[in-house]
């Protein structure tokens, strides 16, 4: 059964008048967690679309780059997106419910944020309203400022993206500690690790850019130190 078929089943289980956000309360074990992850990205993407007032073709394409959608499943994906746009619940409510659901694994919240950054940057412009939106989502996720800055530095060209910020460390952090942190980030980005924490196979492309960025940052830092 495809993830989109499972999402359809989840949507069919909604009782009359129940908001989409309440689905997250029920999805705490695989494969429900993979469904919840996908719904989380779709729902918050729909809310983010309201932030800058426009859903562009590039943003739709970006979503398809992260989540492979078969032609016969497009209607299901569109239904989730439209439900999220129409839901009276604000994005803060979505974000808090998602944080509560994945409270045992903050790496999943970073995965969700990466998906949102990927979509936000699809049109080549990082709108101030999108920055405010993503900052608020990060706050609802209880994500520390350094981790959010690390994400933004890797995705937004206009942000200062020195290698220390990319890895979420400071220049005065001892090199052995930076190496340890880098290795942990590499382990967290492994496809098997991501699937185990609820990221669906369709979304593993999220890790490709992350792995390239963190390896490039570590190489730059280690080269500077060696010099």
Complete DSSP assignment for the chain: --HHHHHHHHHHTPPTT--GGGHHHH--STTHHHHHHHHHHHHHHHHHHHHTT---HHHHHHHHHHS---GGGHHHHHHHHHHHHH-SS-HHHHHHHHHHHTTT-HHHHHHHHHHHHHHHTTTS---HHHHHHHHHHHHHTT--HHHHHHHHHHH-TTS---HHHHHT--TTS-HHHHHHHHHHHHHHTSHHHHHHTT--GGGTHHHHHHHHHHHHHHHHHHHHHH-
More reliable by pLDDT, 123 or 16? 123
20-29, 140-149, 175-184, 217-226 — which one is most confidently predicted on average?
175-184
The answer for residues whose C-beta is within 8 angstroms of residue 204's C-beta and 6 or more apart is: 191, 194, 195
What pLDDT is attached to residue 54? 63
Mean pLDDT of 65-85: 74
Place of tokens 């390239």: 212
Phi-psi region of 53 (alpha: psi -120 to 50; beta: other; left: phi over 0): left
pLDDT per position as a tens digit, 168-210: 999 999 999 999 999 999 999 988 888 888 787 877 877 888 8
pLDDT per position as a tens digit, 112-166: 898 888 888 877 888 888 899 999 999 999 999 989 999 998 888 777 678 999 9
More reliable by pLDDT, 12 or 14? 12
Mean pLDDT of 79-104: 76
More reliable by pLDDT, 41 or 186? 186
What is the span of the domain harbouring residue 88? 3-226
Residue 48 has which token pair? 């983010």
What pLDDT is attached to residue 121? 84
What pLDDT is attached to residue 220? 93
Counting the structural domains of the chain, the total is: 1
More reliable by pLDDT, 70 or 194? 194
What pLDDT is attached to residue 27? 72
pLDDT at 93 over 60: yes
């Amino acid at each position: 059964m495809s993830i989109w078929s499972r999402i359809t089943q989840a949507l069919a289980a909604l009782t009359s008048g129940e908001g989409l956000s309440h689905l997250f309360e029920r999805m705490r074990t695989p494969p429900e967690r993979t469904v919840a992850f996908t719904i989380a990205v779709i729902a918050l993407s729909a809310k983010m679309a309201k932030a800058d007032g426009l859903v562009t073709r590039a943003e739709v394409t970006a979503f398809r780059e992260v989540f492979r959608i078969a032609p016969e499943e497009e209607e299901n994906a569109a239904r989730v997106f439209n439900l999220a746009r129409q839901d009276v619940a604000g994005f803060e409510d979505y974000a808090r419910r998602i944080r509560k659901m994945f409270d045992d694994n903050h790496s999943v919240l970073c995965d969700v944020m990466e998906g949102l950054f990927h979509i936000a940057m699809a049109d080549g412009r990082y709108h101030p309203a999108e920055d405010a939106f993503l900052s608020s989502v990060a706050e609802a996720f209880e994500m520390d400022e350094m981790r959010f800055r690390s994400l933004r530095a890797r995705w937004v060209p206009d942000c200062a993206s020195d290698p220390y910020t990319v890895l979420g460390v400071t220049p005065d952090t001892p090199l052995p500690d930076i190496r340890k942190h880098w290795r942990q980030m590499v382990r967290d980005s492994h496809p098997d690790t991501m699937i185990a924490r609820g990221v669906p196979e369709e979304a593993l492309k999220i890790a490709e850019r992350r792995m390239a960025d963190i390896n490039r940052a570590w190489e730059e830092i280690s080269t500077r130190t060696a010099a």
